[in-house]
Amino acid sequence: MTKKTAEDFAKQQKEISISEFFEKNKHLLGFDNPTKALLMAVKEAVDNSLDACEEAEILPDITVKIKNLKEDVYKVSIQDNGPGIVKEQVPRIFGKLLYGSKFHRLRQSRGQQGIGISAVLLYSQLTTGNPTRVLSRTDEKKKSQMFELLIDTKKNEPQIVKQEETDDGIPGTGIRVEMDILGRYRKSQGVDDYLKQTSISNPFAKIIYHAPDGEKMTFPRSVNELPVPPKEIKIHPYGVEFGILQRFLTETSSRTLQSFLVNEFSSIGQQTAKEICSMAKLEPNMKPPELERGGIEKLLGAMQKAKVQRPPLDCLSPIGEKELERSLKKEYPEAEFITTLTRSPEVYRGNPFQIEVGIIYGGNMKTDEPIEIIRLANRVPLLYQAGACATTEAAKDTDWKRYGLQQSGSNLPSGPMILVIHMCSAWVPFISESKEAIAPYPDIVKEMKLAMQDAGRNLSRYLSGKRRAGEAKRRIQIFERYSGEVASSIALLTKKPEKEIEKKLKSMISQRTHIKDDEEDKTE
């Protein structure tokens, strides 16, 4: 056999399209088993619907239908009442990976990369060969546009199988996606849980769900107002890396280094910009693209050392204490105790973030099993990879024994409890492309722990109140057990009617034992 030369290799060296790459590596996007694939299909579409409605300031009405076509093939249909998508954009949005409106900006949203829904199309055509049907209506006075789409994976371009105007379907404006996929339906850790938790974290959304087993579920709104829209922010100097700074310097339309710093980053005013330039020993009036490697390094060092204010925090849109409490009460009406709290915003690597925690306690939950954790990131439920998630690390690190739960070593505590943790940020650091777990950065874990401790204290206050009430009840029972005997002895001594004495005794017991604990000591 002749040895291969560089020229031989050159013949095999060619570009790989992003679609081809993910066709081979679908597990990287979360399509690693049929149960998860069915969930991903619903999740990507619903997340998009919620993002679109929130941005267009429309109270979302979403309908999810899943039908079992044959064996492991399901038809999934998701419809929203959002703004719709203009005709020209539909094929690229659904038929091209890495195409979207959220990647090039820093704003809290569910989607980010522009891979979500097109990845589901890719999976659908890979497993069934069928095109996806998309209906879009952007104007109530006009008809819907219908597309049947496939992806040309070699080119990462949409392939339009059919296109027409249609009267079918969407009542006002919005999108409907219908796709066939290879999947598996399970009641737990799948679509049902995802929709229930989505309803908890988006109390302003109404979701109707037709499950493949014929069950119809409605998740009503628990609040009738949309959250205040989160503001888009610029990157904070503390979160900048070399390559990004280098690119910003060449792309900027700012004429001077000083104005570049003010315009392109958050929290830098003229004065801070001047200070950064002087720390970096760079001329504030120089043209940004003229900075060379050494200059960029000095600039980066100065940007990270300079005293810069925190980034603005109006880029965050938490669920809210009251709103979260309402949706938890709606989904867990049998719970004995519910507490929710929203911490003040914090910052990791220049990115503002905010943590919220909810505790649902008692009711008909098992008492001797590890607690359940509902993990949420930018209002999206995370159902997989719990072990690698910052939320789990924080829950294990928290000393729950102090708050009345059982816990051995650094395991999750046991008890009749569900812990809800939400992190919102313009940039949630996920551990992978499939966005299943939050990276356990120390600043984030620490803040989550503080939130859990706050909520834990509320729980322990409730539990000790309950314990005291239980003790008081036991005391009443003891007194009552002996009240008959005591009454007859007193009657013997005083020659007064026994029945009357017993009645008086009972009223005394009930009066005394209902006295508040802090007054208890004062009574004789």
Question: Which residues of the chain form contacts with ligand ADP (CB under 6 A)?
Answer: 44, 48-49, 52, 80, 82-83, 85, 93, 100-102, 111-118, 175
Which residue, 101 or 513, is less far from ligand ADP as judged by CB? 101
Which residue, 114 or 358, is less far from Mg ion as judged by CB? 114
C-beta of residue 276 within 8 angstroms of C-beta of residue 315? no
CB atoms within 10 A of CB 175: 27
Query: In this structure, what DSSP letter does residue 236 have?
Result: P
Which residue, 49 or 222, is less far from ligand ADP as judged by CB? 49
Query: In this structure, what DSSP letter does residue 438 have?
Result: B
Instruction: Please report how close the Cβ of residue 170 comes to ligand ADP at its closest, in angstroms.
Output: 11
Parallel/antiparallel/unpaired status of strands 417-425 and 372-377: parallel
Report helix, strand or coil for 280: coil
Which residue, 80 or 192, is less far from ligand ADP as judged by CB? 80
Whole-angstrom Cα distance, residue 329 to residue 431?
32
Which residue, 40 or 335, is less far from ligand ADP as judged by CB? 40
Whole-angstrom Cα distance, residue 377 to residue 447?
14
Which residue, 48 or 317, is less far from Mg ion as judged by CB? 48
Q: For residue 347, which phi and psi values (nearest 5 degrees)?
A: -130, 130
Instruction: Please report how close the Cβ of residue 52 comes to ligand ADP at its closest, in angstroms.
Output: 3
Which of Mg ion, ligand ADP, none binds 80 (CB below 5-8 Å, type-dependent)?
Answer: ligand ADP
Q: For residue 28, which amino acid is it?
A: L
Distances (CA, A) of 355 to 156, 325, 431: 38, 15, 18
C-beta of residue 270 within 8 angstroms of C-beta of residue 262? yes
Query: In this structure, what DSSP letter does residue 325 have?
Result: H
Which of Mg ion, ligand ADP, none binds 276 (CB below 5-8 Å, type-dependent)?
Answer: none
Instruction: Please report how close the Cβ of residue 50 comes to ligand ADP at its closest, in angstroms.
Output: 9
Which residue, 132 or 272, is less far from ligand ADP as judged by CB? 132
**b/e for 179-217, b at 16 or more Cβ within 10 A?**
bbbbbbbeeeebbbbbbbbbbbbbbbbbbbbebbeeeee
Instruction: Please report how close the Cβ of residue 55 comes to Mg ion at its closest, in angstroms.
Output: 12
Which residue, 118 or 144, is less far from ligand ADP as judged by CB? 118
Residue 111 found at the interface with Mg ion (CB under 5 A): yes
Instruction: Please report how close the Cβ of residue 23 comes to ligand ADP at its closest, in angstroms.
Output: 16
Instruction: Please report how close the Cβ of residue 370 comes to ligand ADP at its closest, in angstroms.
Output: 33
Query: In this structure, what DSSP letter does residue 27 have?
Result: G
Which residue, 109 or 327, is less far from Mg ion as judged by CB? 109
Sole window of 111-119, 317-325, 334-342, 484-492 interacting with Mg ion (rule: CB under 5 A): 111-119
Instruction: Please report how close the Cβ of residue 427 comes to ligand ADP at its closest, in angstroms.
Output: 13
Instruction: Please report how close the Cβ of residue 287 comes to ligand ADP at its closest, in angstroms.
Output: 34
The closest of 391, 311, 392 to 353, measured between CA atoms, is 311
- Contacts with Mg ion by CB under 5 A: the residue count is 3
Which residue, 50 or 146, is less far from Mg ion as judged by CB? 50
Instruction: Please report how close the Cβ of residue 97 comes to ligand ADP at its closest, in angstroms.
Output: 8
Which of Mg ion, ligand ADP, none binds 159 (CB below 5-8 Å, type-dependent)?
Answer: none
Which class for 333: exposed (0-12), middle (13-18), buried (19 or more C-beta within 10 A)? Answer: exposed
Which class for 1: exposed (0-12), middle (13-18), buried (19 or more C-beta within 10 A)? Answer: exposed
Which of Mg ion, ligand ADP, none binds 346 (CB below 5-8 Å, type-dependent)?
Answer: none
Residue nearest to ligand ADP (CB): 111
Q: How many CA atoms lie within 13 A of 145 on its CB side?
A: 16
Which of ligand ADP, Mg ion, none binds 318 (CB below 5-8 Å, type-dependent)?
Answer: none
Q: Which of 30, 34, 116, 440 binds Mg ion (CB under 5 A)?
A: 116
The closest of 267, 300, 262 to 284, measured between CA atoms, is 262
Report helix, strand or coil for 225: coil
Instruction: Please report how close the Cβ of residue 137 comes to ligand ADP at its closest, in angstroms.
Output: 11
CB atoms within 10 A of CB 8: 10
Which of ligand ADP, Mg ion, none binds 113 (CB below 5-8 Å, type-dependent)?
Answer: ligand ADP
Which residue, 351 or 378, is less far from ligand ADP as judged by CB? 378
Sole window of 5-13, 116-124, 327-335, 496-504 interacting with Mg ion (rule: CB under 5 A): 116-124
Residue 378 found at the interface with Mg ion (CB under 5 A): no
Instruction: Please report how close the Cβ of residue 85 comes to ligand ADP at its closest, in angstroms.
Output: 5
What tokens were used for 32? 């690693």
Residue 48 found at the interface with Mg ion (CB under 5 A): yes
Which residue, 108 or 342, is less far from ligand ADP as judged by CB? 108
Strand order in the sheet with 144-152: 157-166, 144-152, 132-137, 174-182, 73-79, 61-70, 206-210, 216-219
Instruction: Find the angle CA(354)-CA(356)-CA(359) to the nearest 5 degrees.
Output: 165
233: enclosing H helix or E strand: none
Sole window of 66-74, 114-122, 214-222, 227-235 interacting with Mg ion (rule: CB under 5 A): 114-122
Sequence-ordered list of residues with C-beta below 8 angstroms from that of 218, at least 6 positions apart, any chain = 206, 207, 208, 209
Q: How far out from the chain centre does Cα 276 lie?
A: 36
Instruction: Please report how close the Cβ of residue 204 comes to Mg ion at its closest, in angstroms.
Output: 19
Q: Interface with Mg ion by CB under 5 A: which residues?
A: 48, 111, 116
